[in-house]
């Protein structure tokens, strides 16, 4: 599940490789995953690559925006003429791809077909502030947690309140902050909000540094096919039955709102 660190890693890769490229053709293999008039993008060039939350978007020279949401199993893969293995794409999971004038191609692969690509006049982005944006402050976190009746774990996944966190980083951030995922938002004390704010920033920053998580059974890779490294640094995610990294208590897994939730029953209060 590509979340902020994975999408940020992809964004940085594409900024280095896509700016200025001219779109020759867009091939749509699965129509339900593409929204908009793809022909409007033909012969435009890529002006900028941006991200908000888990959405990555390309600003085109005709002022249109091509937005991508990878959902669970989406991948964005880039191949130039000189790329090794340039011939193994498109493959059976390719749903949409773009060919550029210089011979390079961008592939949108998505095994489960939950993701989408949209061509619109404005980028198709979530409402909440991005975790890396200056609008996301400790005061803001305090304010939004204080005005909901949700549990903290599902709350962190609400992209209309805070954009970028998914299941992996919600689990790890709550461990880092010593907070039990079943806590009600409203019961969190000021010092706990402070710790959670610091934890989110620490975990997200570290995950970006390691180029995201290529977890077991997950599809995420960089656009050149290489893997991220944060999966080797998971605090609790996918560590069910293993000892807590702080106190050796066995990590427990439960379901909250239908989502797998991992936590230490001793040190996450």
Partner DNA sequence: CTGCGGTCCTGAAGGC
Partner DNA sequence: TGCCTTCAGGACCGCA
206 is catalytic: no
Q: Which of 21, 54, 153, 239 is catalytic?
A: 54
- Report the 10 Å Cβ neighbour count for 23: 21
For the segment 106-165, give every residue that binds DNA (CB under 7 A): 111-114, 126, 148-151, 154, 157, 159
138 is catalytic: no
Bridge partners of residue 59, in order along the sequence? 48, 65
129 is catalytic: no
Please list the alpha-helical segments (H only) found in 147-258: 152-156, 167-176, 190-209
Return the SS3 of 203. helix
Measured distance CA(100)–CA(208) in Å, rounded: 28
Task: For DNA, give the closer residue by CB, 121 or 247.
Answer: 121
Binder among 1, 41, 98, 193 for DNA (CB under 7 A): 1
Binding mask 9-48 for DNA (x = CB under 7 A): -----------------------x----------------
Task: For DNA, give the closer residue by CB, 36 or 154.
Answer: 154
Stretch of 15-23, 174-182, 198-206, 254-262 contacting DNA, by CB under 7 A: 254-262
CA distances from 170 to 19, 234, 236 (A): 32, 11, 10
3 is catalytic: yes
Give the nearest distance from C-beta 102 to DNA in angstroms.
32
85 binds DNA (CB under 7 A): no
Burial of 32 from C-beta contacts in 10 A (0-12 / 13-18 / 19+) = exposed
Burial of 247 from C-beta contacts in 10 A (0-12 / 13-18 / 19+) = exposed
Q: Which of 12, 40, 71, 259 is catalytic?
A: 259
Quote the DSSP letter at residue 57: E
Query: What values do phi and psi take at 187, rounded to 5?
Result: -90, -5
Active-site positions read: 2-3, 54, 259
Binding site for DNA (CB under 7 A): 1, 32, 53-54, 69, 71-73, 92-93, 111-114, 126, 148-151, 154, 157, 159, 166-167, 217, 255, 257-260
């Amino acid at each position: 599940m590509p979340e902020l660190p994975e999408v940020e890693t992809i964004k940085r890769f594409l900024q280095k490789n896509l700016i200025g490229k001219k779109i020759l053709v867009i091939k749509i293999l699965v129509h339900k995953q593409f929204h908009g008039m793809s022909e409007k993008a033909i012969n435009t060039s890529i002006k900028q690559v941006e991200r908000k939350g888990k959405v990555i978007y390309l600003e085109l020279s005709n002022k249109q925006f091509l937005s991508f949401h990878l959902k669970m199993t989406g991948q964005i893969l880039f191949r130039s003429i000189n790329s090794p293995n340039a011939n193994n794409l498109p493959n059976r999971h390719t749903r949409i791809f773009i060919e550029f004038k210089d011979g390079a191609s961008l592939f949108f692969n998505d095994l489960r077909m939950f993701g989408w690509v949209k061509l619109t006049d404005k980028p198709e982005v979530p409402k909440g502030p991005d975790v890396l944006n200056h609008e996301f402050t400790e005061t803001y976190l305090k304010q939004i947690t204080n005005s909901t009746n949700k549990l903290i774990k599902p709350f962190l996944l609400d992209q209309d309140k805070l954009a970028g966190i998914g299941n992996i980083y919600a689990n790890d951030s709550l461990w880092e902050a010593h907070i039990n995922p079943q806590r009600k938002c409203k019961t969190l004390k000021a010092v706990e909000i402070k710790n959670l704010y610091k934890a989110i920033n620490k975990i997200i920053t570290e995950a970006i540094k390691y180029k995201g998580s290529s977890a077991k059974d997950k599809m995420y890779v960089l656009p050149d096919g290489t893997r991220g490294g944060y999966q080797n640094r998971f605090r609790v995610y996918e560590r069910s039955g293993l000892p807590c990294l702080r106190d050796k208590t066995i990590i427990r897994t439960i379901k909250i709102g239908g989502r797998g939730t991992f936590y230490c029953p001793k040190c996450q209060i």
